[in-house]
Amino acid sequence: MADKRHRKHVRHDPKPTFVTRINSFIADNLAKVLSSMWLFWILLVAIVASYIMQPPQGAFDISLFFISTAFQGIALPVLAFVSNIQGDRQQAQLNKMQSEIEEELKLVRELLEDVKAGQAQIAQNACEYASQSS
């Protein structure tokens, strides 16, 4: 009873809407661009160029410039790139694990069919024995 109530309130969209597809497309492509090493190099060149064209004045400005550029311009694209690499590795490992599990499941199903055939044979032999002994 509780399961039926729960299922009634859960919304399942079998087909994504146009807006959902557009949002997914933009998010996927934006994530690819923002996590690329090309963006890292472009940002690094832009940061160095801005530093050369208008260097910060004073120790506070210099430290603020390097801290903000180190995190925003360098660390974030690199972290996103590394995260993508780790995600690809995990996906490959999951795919390998899934294929191994599917092979094991196939073996278990074959064993189950052998057990069922053995049970049928035992039942047949028992019936034959019962008919012969009477």
Domain count, the chain: 1
Question: Which residues in 11-122 belong to E strands, given as ranges?
Answer: none
Phi first, then psi: give them for residue 11, nearest 5 degrees: -100, 125
Is residue 34 predicted with pLDDT exceeding 80? no
Q: Give the confidence band of 120 by pLDDT, cuts at 50, 70, 90.
A: very high
Length of the chain: 134
pTM, to two decimals = 0.47
Instruction: Write down the residue that tokens 């925003």 correspond to.
Output: 72
Please state, for a pLDDT cut of 70, what percent of the chain lies above it. 89
Q: Are the beta carbons of 81 and 35 closer than 8 angstroms?
A: yes
Q: Give the domain extent around 74.
A: 2-133
d(CA 87, CA 81): 10
